[in-house]
Chain A
Protein backbone atom coordinates (compact mmCIF):
# COMPACT_ATOMS: atom_id res chain seq x y z
CA UNK A 1 0.00 0.00 0.00
CA UNK A 2 1.39 3.45 -0.92
CA UNK A 3 2.34 5.57 2.06
CA UNK A 4 3.85 8.93 2.86
CA UNK A 5 7.33 8.48 4.32
CA UNK A 6 8.87 10.80 6.89
CA UNK A 7 12.13 10.89 8.77
CA UNK A 8 13.27 11.09 11.42
CA UNK A 9 10.38 9.82 13.56
CA UNK A 10 11.71 11.53 16.67
CA UNK A 11 14.11 14.43 17.12
CA UNK A 12 15.41 15.98 20.32
CA UNK A 13 17.42 19.16 19.99
CA UNK A 14 18.52 22.11 22.05
CA UNK A 15 17.18 25.57 21.43
CA UNK A 16 19.10 27.62 18.87
CA UNK A 17 20.12 24.47 16.98
CA UNK A 18 19.05 23.69 13.43
CA UNK A 19 16.75 20.77 12.61
CA UNK A 20 15.52 19.32 9.34
CA UNK A 21 12.69 16.98 8.48
CA UNK A 22 12.24 14.96 5.30
CA UNK A 23 9.10 13.78 3.53
CA UNK A 24 8.49 11.55 0.52
CA UNK A 25 4.86 11.71 -0.66
CA UNK A 26 2.78 8.96 -2.21
CA UNK A 27 3.97 8.35 -5.76
CA UNK A 28 2.04 10.46 -8.24
CA UNK A 29 0.76 12.93 -5.68
CA UNK A 30 1.45 16.43 -6.95
CA UNK A 31 0.41 18.28 -3.80
CA UNK A 32 2.45 18.11 -0.61
CA UNK A 33 1.64 19.69 2.73
CA UNK A 34 3.57 20.31 5.95
CA UNK A 35 1.48 20.64 9.09
CA UNK A 36 2.36 21.30 12.71
CA UNK A 37 0.27 19.72 15.45
CA UNK A 38 0.57 20.89 19.03
CA UNK A 39 -0.64 18.47 21.68
CA UNK A 40 -4.40 18.72 22.14
CA UNK A 41 -4.95 20.65 18.92
CA UNK A 42 -5.65 19.82 15.31
CA UNK A 43 -2.96 20.04 12.63
CA UNK A 44 -2.28 23.51 11.25
CA UNK A 45 -0.95 24.05 7.75
CA UNK A 46 2.55 25.49 7.52
CA UNK A 47 3.21 25.21 3.79
CA UNK A 48 1.64 23.68 0.69
CA UNK A 49 3.43 22.75 -2.53
CA UNK A 50 1.99 22.05 -5.94
CA UNK A 51 4.77 20.16 -7.69
CA UNK A 52 7.86 22.26 -6.88
CA UNK A 53 6.00 25.54 -6.34
CA UNK A 54 4.84 26.98 -3.04
CA UNK A 55 1.07 27.52 -3.13
CA UNK A 56 0.52 28.69 0.45
CA UNK A 57 3.12 29.54 3.08
CA UNK A 58 1.11 32.22 4.86
CA UNK A 59 1.40 30.45 8.23
CA UNK A 60 5.09 29.56 7.92
CA UNK A 61 7.28 31.58 10.35
CA UNK A 62 9.68 32.62 7.65
CA UNK A 63 12.24 34.12 10.00
CA UNK A 64 13.17 30.64 11.16
CA UNK A 65 11.35 28.08 9.00
CA UNK A 66 12.07 27.16 5.39
CA UNK A 67 10.71 24.48 3.11
CA UNK A 68 11.67 23.23 -0.30
CA UNK A 69 10.58 20.65 -2.85
CA UNK A 70 13.24 21.14 -5.48
CA UNK A 71 12.35 18.36 -7.93
CA UNK A 72 8.65 18.27 -7.14
CA UNK A 73 8.86 14.96 -5.33
CA UNK A 74 10.33 14.79 -1.81
CA UNK A 75 10.50 17.79 0.48
CA UNK A 76 12.52 19.15 3.38
CA UNK A 77 11.32 21.40 6.21
CA UNK A 78 14.01 23.20 8.19
CA UNK A 79 13.96 25.17 11.43
CA UNK A 80 16.89 27.41 12.31
CA UNK A 81 17.21 28.30 15.11
CA UNK A 82 14.81 26.06 17.01
CA UNK A 83 12.89 27.57 19.91
CA UNK A 84 11.19 25.92 22.87
CA UNK A 85 7.77 26.69 21.38
CA UNK A 86 8.58 24.64 18.28
CA UNK A 87 8.11 21.40 20.20
CA UNK A 88 5.30 19.64 18.34
CA UNK A 89 4.48 16.89 15.85
CA UNK A 90 5.43 17.83 12.30
CA UNK A 91 3.22 16.06 9.80
CA UNK A 92 3.64 15.70 6.07
CA UNK A 93 0.64 14.89 3.89
CA UNK A 94 0.06 14.46 0.18
CA UNK A 95 -2.87 14.43 -2.19
CA UNK A 96 -3.34 13.67 -5.87
CA UNK A 97 -4.55 17.21 -6.47
CA UNK A 98 -5.58 20.19 -4.38
CA UNK A 99 -9.29 20.67 -4.86
CA UNK A 100 -11.59 18.57 -2.72
CA UNK A 101 -9.02 15.81 -2.63
CA UNK A 102 -8.24 13.51 0.25
CA UNK A 103 -4.99 14.17 2.08
CA UNK A 104 -2.98 11.23 3.43
CA UNK A 105 -0.58 11.74 6.30
CA UNK A 106 2.82 10.29 7.00
CA UNK A 107 3.79 9.01 10.46
CA UNK A 108 5.08 12.42 11.55
CA UNK A 109 8.21 13.67 13.29
CA UNK A 110 7.93 14.34 17.00
CA UNK A 111 10.22 17.30 17.80
CA UNK A 112 11.28 18.13 21.34
CA UNK A 113 13.27 21.32 21.88
CA UNK A 114 15.12 21.51 25.20
Chain B
Protein backbone atom coordinates (compact mmCIF):
# COMPACT_ATOMS: atom_id res chain seq x y z
CA UNK B 1 0.00 0.00 0.00
CA UNK B 2 1.63 3.23 -1.16
CA UNK B 3 1.44 5.86 1.54
CA UNK B 4 1.88 9.58 2.02
CA UNK B 5 2.27 10.64 5.63
CA UNK B 6 1.67 14.05 7.14
CA UNK B 7 1.36 15.29 10.69
CA UNK B 8 -2.28 16.23 11.16
CA UNK B 9 -1.45 19.22 13.37
CA UNK B 10 -2.64 21.75 14.05
CA UNK B 11 0.60 23.61 13.46
CA UNK B 12 0.25 27.00 15.13
CA UNK B 13 2.58 29.86 14.17
CA UNK B 14 2.44 33.60 14.84
CA UNK B 15 1.81 36.02 12.01
CA UNK B 16 5.02 36.82 10.15
CA UNK B 17 6.76 33.57 11.11
CA UNK B 18 7.89 30.75 8.84
CA UNK B 19 5.58 27.74 8.72
CA UNK B 20 7.22 24.42 7.89
CA UNK B 21 5.04 21.57 6.66
CA UNK B 22 6.46 18.11 6.13
CA UNK B 23 5.52 14.99 4.21
CA UNK B 24 7.05 11.54 3.70
CA UNK B 25 6.17 8.97 1.05
CA UNK B 26 6.71 5.27 0.62
CA UNK B 27 7.01 4.73 -3.16
CA UNK B 28 10.65 5.27 -4.24
CA UNK B 29 9.52 5.40 -7.85
CA UNK B 30 7.49 8.56 -7.28
CA UNK B 31 8.27 11.24 -9.84
CA UNK B 32 6.41 14.40 -8.96
CA UNK B 33 5.18 16.09 -5.84
CA UNK B 34 2.44 18.61 -5.20
CA UNK B 35 1.18 20.82 -2.42
CA UNK B 36 -2.48 21.78 -2.27
CA UNK B 37 -4.15 24.24 0.09
CA UNK B 38 -7.69 23.47 1.23
CA UNK B 39 -9.84 25.91 3.15
CA UNK B 40 -12.61 24.43 5.27
CA UNK B 41 -15.53 23.30 3.12
CA UNK B 42 -13.69 24.14 -0.11
CA UNK B 43 -11.87 22.07 -2.71
CA UNK B 44 -8.07 21.68 -2.90
CA UNK B 45 -6.16 24.46 -4.65
CA UNK B 46 -2.75 23.72 -6.21
CA UNK B 47 -0.06 26.00 -4.82
CA UNK B 48 3.26 24.31 -5.65
CA UNK B 49 4.75 21.38 -7.51
CA UNK B 50 8.30 20.05 -7.61
CA UNK B 51 9.91 17.34 -9.72
CA UNK B 52 13.64 17.56 -8.94
CA UNK B 53 15.69 17.33 -5.77
CA UNK B 54 16.35 20.66 -4.10
CA UNK B 55 14.34 23.79 -3.55
CA UNK B 56 11.75 25.55 -5.66
CA UNK B 57 10.56 29.02 -4.70
CA UNK B 58 7.36 30.81 -5.70
CA UNK B 59 6.67 34.02 -3.83
CA UNK B 60 6.34 33.26 -0.13
CA UNK B 61 6.30 29.51 -0.76
CA UNK B 62 9.30 27.18 -1.05
CA UNK B 63 8.97 23.49 -1.80
CA UNK B 64 11.87 21.22 -0.87
CA UNK B 65 12.41 17.69 -2.16
CA UNK B 66 14.82 15.00 -1.00
CA UNK B 67 14.17 11.81 -2.97
CA UNK B 68 16.87 9.84 -1.14
CA UNK B 69 15.08 10.47 2.16
CA UNK B 70 11.62 10.28 0.52
CA UNK B 71 10.78 13.60 2.06
CA UNK B 72 9.09 16.73 0.75
CA UNK B 73 8.36 19.93 2.61
CA UNK B 74 6.65 23.27 2.15
CA UNK B 75 7.89 26.46 3.76
CA UNK B 76 5.61 29.48 4.00
CA UNK B 77 7.48 32.70 4.79
CA UNK B 78 5.85 35.73 6.41
CA UNK B 79 2.79 33.65 7.34
CA UNK B 80 -0.52 35.49 7.24
CA UNK B 81 -3.84 34.64 8.96
CA UNK B 82 -5.21 34.02 5.46
CA UNK B 83 -2.74 31.13 5.14
CA UNK B 84 -4.70 29.26 7.83
CA UNK B 85 -5.93 26.14 6.05
CA UNK B 86 -5.20 22.45 5.62
CA UNK B 87 -2.20 21.72 3.41
CA UNK B 88 -2.34 18.48 1.45
CA UNK B 89 0.80 16.78 0.20
CA UNK B 90 0.24 14.73 -2.94
CA UNK B 91 2.68 12.34 -4.58
CA UNK B 92 2.42 10.96 -8.09
CA UNK B 93 3.51 7.36 -7.74
CA UNK B 94 5.28 5.14 -10.22
CA UNK B 95 1.96 4.29 -11.91
CA UNK B 96 1.15 8.01 -12.33
CA UNK B 97 -1.55 7.87 -9.67
CA UNK B 98 -1.82 10.85 -7.32
CA UNK B 99 -1.74 9.75 -3.68
CA UNK B 100 -2.75 12.32 -1.07
CA UNK B 101 -1.77 12.62 2.55
CA UNK B 102 -4.45 13.42 5.11
CA UNK B 103 -3.22 16.99 5.40
CA UNK B 104 -1.70 19.26 8.01
CA UNK B 105 -3.88 21.95 9.52
CA UNK B 106 -2.06 25.28 9.79
CA UNK B 107 -3.20 28.05 12.13
CA UNK B 108 -1.59 31.49 11.82
CA UNK B 109 -2.21 33.57 14.94
CA UNK B 110 -2.61 37.35 14.42
Interface residues of A in 30-86 (CB under 8 A from B): 33, 40-45, 48, 56
> Count the A-B residue pairs with Cβ separation under 8 angstroms: how many?
49
Proximity string of chain A (94-113) to chain B, C-beta cutoff 8 Å, 1 when within and 0 when not: 00001110111111101000
The number of chain A residues touching the other chain, given as a range, is 20 to 34
**What's the least CB distance linking A37 to chain B, in Å?**
8
When chains A and B are docked, how far (Å) is the Cα of A44 from the Cα of B92? 13
Whether A91 contacts B44 by the Cβ 8 Å rule is: yes
Q: Which of B12-20, B45-53, B63-71 lies at the interface with chain A?
A: B45-53
Whether B43 contacts A108 by the Cβ 8 Å rule is: yes
**What's the least CB distance linking A50 to chain B, in Å?**
11
Known contacts A42-B90, A42-B103; 20 additional CB pairs below 8 A are: A40-B8, A40-B102, A42-B88, A42-B100, A42-B101, A42-B102, A45-B97, A48-B97, A56-B97, A99-B31, A99-B96, A100-B32, A100-B96, A103-B34, A103-B98, A105-B43, A105-B44, A107-B42, A107-B43, A110-B41
Residues of B within 8 A of A (CB): 4, 8, 31-32, 34, 36, 41-46, 49, 51, 88, 90, 92, 96-98, 100-103
- Sorted nearest first, the 3 A-B pairs with minimum C-beta distance are A42-B100, A100-B32, A105-B43
